[in-house]
Structure 1
Amino acid sequence: MLPFFALIFVAFLYPLLSLLLISVQEPEPGITNYVRIFENPIYATVLLRTLRLALLVSILSLMLALPVALLMARSRGPKLAFITACILLPFWSSVLVRTAAWSVLLQRNGLINQGLQAVGIIDAPVKLLYTQGAVIVAMSHVLMPFMVLPIYGALRNIPVELGRAAAICGAGPNRSFWEVTLPLAMPGIVAGFILVFLSSLGYFITPALLGSPQEMTISTLISQQLREFLDWPFAAALVGVLSLLVTAITLAFSRVFRFDRMMGAHE
């Protein structure tokens, strides 16, 4: 395990700790940079907007991923291979390419506006690009494999006999899903939700390309402080707040859902 931990330290822990040191050492020792974050309501608004965006993306990803995972769990052979390829092939392409594709679809003369006009839903092109809706849809598409795969793994581990036993006891398909399948798939659902939620908190490319300045997230704010204002100490403080937020959310999820028990571990 030594090479693994060495890589984690060099590629993650050391840069993060260096930034945290900058945030409390410059321009003067202390927590001045952190005080700036909580004194200005704009930064609190950005933090709340980022949390709301991550929550909406996670919910939409779950709504889209659950039917796909159910279909995968009930498929075999070429059908399963085809569905898996549809999920994984876009995942293997660049995030920048997928985001650029959404910008083409959502522009005023894009395919979506043209299709809505063709069926008579709208008379003139509407603004779809550079909106929060565009960011939510595109991020859900990019992050959906992180939701599909854990749910699929949990569903595949559910014995088929349980569904048959529920049917013998008189449960219909809907009741069997809500009272048997869904509770047993909950570890995969929770794992996928956490992965998507935490990834959404620090996502940068999609909000930067498809969002507007009025919909700035904490990742785009950090980039602005670095590139435009060259304010490394304040950007490092924002990184510290984001890291603390991610850690707190992870601990809260772990405390509420008790991952060890959900995965079947015993003390």
Structure 2
Amino acid sequence: MTAIRLRPVAPAAWLVLPLLILVLIGFDLPLLGVVWKSLFDGRGAFSLDAYYTIVDAPVYARVMGNTFRIAVISTLCCALLGYPLAYWLRGLSRRWQMVGLAAIVIPFWISILVRTYAWIVILGNAGIVNRSLLALGWTSSPISFLYNELGVMIGTINVLLPFLVLPLFAAMMKIDDSLLQAAETLGASRWAVFWKVFFPLSLPALLAGAILVFILTLGFYITPAILGGGRVPMIANMLDLLINEMPNWELASTISVVLLVATLALFVVYLRITRDERQA
């Protein structure tokens, strides 16, 4: 009989092993517990009743549909605002690029809770925006910016926009200027150079950033809870209600599993896009 030779484990693998165990215990086991609770009732018997409840009760489908719709709109707005901002930053000098990046990064130093409450001061009925509109005579009564989907999307875009701008700017900086200059020497206009050369090269980074923003929006909680005022139902707020108010752990776990599967699917797309970008 031939002896089976085991490949020696690299020393670096042993250094990573404690971290791997920590990740398994701290992150993966709770997720397995959520999956277990979605498939088994309180007596430990296998049951798919919670999944049937999600399908039969229209309120859960409506909340999930509302969450995905807000996530799509917020992601599109982030893309429409973030791409020109990243492109503008790329054209600045090195010093002004650092100033612009600092202006984007500094809000990360402030708590999301504080930044969210700041929007109440800005967009409230007696806030800066409404007082300015009334003073200019552009409106006869305060405009309702808060406690609706508009307020939720404004706050969400404000928090998540840097997650798209920063990686997109980094990807734009890697685009070789000689490619753009070569297109210009061949007679292409600046408009044609942008749409035919620059935009296709930056598109994978834009899509990857958009998917990242979309995934983060699906699980957003603080901003919708405060700026929505309980009037904009989203998945995270519904989970808070199911866990802390009702409580119904089986149904909350089932909704979490559905959200997890959707997020993992989007994350796989994100990994494929970023992989293609690295290979390009």
Q: TM-score range by the shorter chain?
A: over 0.9
Matched, 1:186 2:203: yes
Task: Please say if residues 73 and 152 of structure 1, whose CA atoms lie closer than 8 Å, have aligned partners that are also in contact.
Answer: yes
Alignment match, 1:16: 31
Task: Please say if residues 69 and 149 of structure 1, whose CA atoms lie closer than 8 Å, have aligned partners that are also in contact.
Answer: yes
Matched, 1:27 2:42: yes
Matches within 5 A, 1:100-249: 100-249=117-266
Q: Give the aligned residue type for 1:102.
A: W
CA RMSD after TM alignment: 1.7
Q: Distance in 1 between matches of 2:106 and 2:119?
A: 16
- Return structure 1 stretches of 4+ with deviation > 6 angstroms: none
Task: Give the structure with higher Rg (CA).
Answer: 2
Q: Give the aligned residue type for 1:21.
A: W
Alignment match, 1:51: 68
The farther-off stretch of 91-100 and 1-10 is 1-10
Alignment match, 1:92: 109
Q: CA deviation at 1:253?
A: 5.5
Structure 1's 3 and 96: CA in aligned 2 closer, same or farther, altered over 3 A? farther
Identity %: 32
Gapped runs of 5+ residues in structure 2? 1-15
Q: CA deviation at 1:252?
A: 5.0
Q: Distance in 1 between matches of 2:18 and 2:232?
A: 40
Alignment match, 2:87: 70
TM-score normalised by L of structure 1: 0.92
Q: CA deviation at 1:264?
A: 1.1
Task: Please say if residues 154 and 187 of structure 1, whose CA atoms lie closer than 8 Å, have aligned partners that are also in contact.
Answer: no
Q: Give the aligned residue type for 1:6.
A: I
Q: Distance in 2 between matches of 1:260 and 1:126?
A: 45
Q: Distance in 2 between matches of 1:60 and 1:4?
A: 38
Task: Please say if residues 151 and 185 of structure 1, whose CA atoms lie closer than 8 Å, have aligned partners that are also in contact.
Answer: yes
Task: Please say if residues 74 and 153 of structure 2, whose CA atoms lie closer than 8 Å, have aligned partners that are also in contact.
Answer: yes
Structure 1's 3 and 65: CA in aligned 2 closer, same or farther, altered over 3 A? farther
Task: Please say if residues 153 and 188 of structure 1, whose CA atoms lie closer than 8 Å, have aligned partners that are also in contact.
Answer: no
Q: CA deviation at 1:259?
A: 4.1
Gapped runs of 5+ residues in structure 1? none
Q: CA deviation at 1:149?
A: 1.2
Structure 1's 6 and 120: CA in aligned 2 closer, same or farther, altered over 3 A? farther
Q: Give the aligned residue type for 2:38.
A: S
Q: Distance in 1 between matches of 2:227 and 2:20?
A: 36
Q: Distance in 2 between matches of 1:198 and 1:70?
A: 24
Structure 1's 168 and 52: CA in aligned 2 closer, same or farther, altered over 3 A? same
Matches within 5 A, 1:254-265: 258-264=273-279
Q: Distance in 2 between matches of 1:103 and 1:50?
A: 22
Task: Please say if residues 116 and 226 of structure 2, whose CA atoms lie closer than 8 Å, have aligned partners that are also in contact.
Answer: yes
Q: Give the aligned residue type for 2:135.
A: A
Q: CA deviation at 1:213?
A: 3.6
Q: CA deviation at 1:69?
A: 0.8
Q: Distance in 2 between matches of 1:111 and 1:100?
A: 13
Matched, 1:2 2:4: no
Q: Distance in 1 between matches of 2:131 and 2:227?
A: 19
Q: Give the aligned residue type for 2:103.
A: C
Aligned length: 263
Q: Give the aligned residue type for 1:178.
A: W
